[in-house]
Amino acid sequence: NTDGIHLQNSQNVVIYSTNLACGDDCVSIQTGCSNIFVHNVNCGPGHGISIGGLGRDNTKACVKNVTVRDITMQDTMTGLRIKTW
Chain segment 26-65, per-residue pLDDT in tens: 999 999 999 999 999 999 999 999 999 899 899 999 999 9
CA distance 7 to 10: 6
Domain that holds residue 72: 5-84
Please tell me the total count of domains within the chain. Answer: 1
This prediction has a pTM of 0.92
- Kindly tell me if the per-residue pLDDT of 1 is higher than 80: no
Q: Please give the single-letter amino acid code of residue 6.
A: H
Contact 4, 26 (CB under 8 A): yes
Backbone angles phi, psi at 22, to 5 degrees: -150, 175
Q: Looking at the annotation, which residues are catalytic? A: 24, 47
Average pLDDT over residues 67-72: 98
DSSP string, 48-73: EEEEEEE-GGG----EEEEEEEEEEE
